Amino acid sequence: MKTLDVQLPGASYPITIGAGILDAALREVVGRHGKELVLVVTNETLAGLYPGRIEAALQGLPVQVESCVLPDGERYKTLETLAHIFDRLMALEANRQALLIAFGGGVIGDMTGFAAACFMRGVPYIQVPTTLLADVDSSVGGKTAVNHPLGKNAIGAFKQPQAVVMELDFLRSLPPREMRAGTFELIKHGIIRDSTLFDFLEEHRGDLDGMDPVFWEEAVARSCRVKAEVVAQDERETDLRAILNFGHSLAHLIETHAGYGSVLHGEAVGAGMLFAAYVSHRWGGLDSYEYGRIRDLLLPLTQPISMPPLDPDAFAHLLMHDKKAGSGTLKFVALNGLGHAVIRGGTAPAELWPMLQDFLREQPQVLRVATA
């Protein structure tokens, strides 16, 4: 078991990582907060896979434990679905003595955190992520949101959890596609800020397709440490935290244009990172050797992503709806060497469009855009 602390101005919270840790870790943090009501927010798939799992872990504690089961999938990450959490809390006559537990992947974590930020102007919540993507990305850092038809994560709030409990045994139920999607975000932290993490993953690339708990505990802990350090320095994404968006400009475009749910977030990030590395190489930030290392680690994990036709105007329109855009340009996260991400402000879509066309021709196994 490994434990990290996210240190923020005036607050901190623990991240506990390991196999077989759920009961003890969750009971400790719930007992410490002494709330009257715990609402476990999960989805239909997990409710079927692990019926009553969180309730059983909390059995014997002097707290009322209830559940709220939402439909499963990115397409349900909406204000309409979010309202079901509020409806359940109101039906239970909940107040500020309520504690929410997000038991699921990134969609459940985001919606539960957003609900916790809003209900009674703020109640505490705990993240219990069940996917690799949620372990290394959405469960850490306090960003919560729902999607809008014109933009991913366009409506949300910053809300830090009281604790994150990462039970790695849950990863055993994930299909290979979900594991690969999470692996992209894990690798990202090495690419942008910790070349030694990248070296470790490169050395153990054979373990990326396996379920060795020793490897995953180490890999997840090192990845989370990178994100925790960045968040501690820039909680509200005024500057440094934007480097965590490496690959996300194109990724969010892919998710929006292809249709929410048709492409997994991590898959889109994988394609976006390959494009961002390609752009960085074209701009001179990455030499051929480093670009090759990144490409060689990421490419075997990719599956071809297909999108509807895209022209320069649609490309610009979709990028400008991304939350990292402003004044007709966007902050594009590039690399100035492996492990050194930089934020390149003032990047116009017209500058990226021809490079995207070159990338599509050179890497057709990554992204395919239909012809009009």
Catalytic residue ranges? 121, 143, 185, 227, 237, 241, 245, 248, 252, 265
Q: How far apart are CA 288 and CA 339, in angstroms?
A: 15
23 is written with which tokens? 């009961």
Cα angle, residue 112 at apex, residues 107 and 118 outer, rounded to 5°: 130
- Comparing CA positions, the residue from 194, 225, 192, 190 lying closest to residue 208 is 190
Give residues with Cβ within 8 angstroms of 143, minimum separation 6. 110, 113, 153, 156, 158
Q: Supply angle C-alpha 24, 27, 33, rounded to 5.
A: 140
Q: List C-alpha distances in Å: 94 to 108, 123, 156, 337.
A: 20, 10, 22, 51
205 residue type, one letter? R
- Long-range CB contacts (within 8 A, 24+) of 200-209: 201/297, 202/293, 202/297, 205/297, 205/300, 208/183, 208/301, 209/176, 209/179
Q: Which phi-psi region, left, alpha or beta, contains residue 274 (left: φ > 0; alpha: ψ -120 to 50)?
A: alpha
Residue the block writes with tokens 């985001």 = 110
Query: Helix 349-362 to helix 312-320 angle, to the nearest 10 degrees?
Result: 120
Residue 181 is which amino acid? A
Answer yes or no: are the C-beta atoms of 132 and 68 closer than 8 Å.
Answer: no
Q: Got the DSSP string for 95-119?
A: -TTEEEEEEESHHHHHHHHHHHHHG
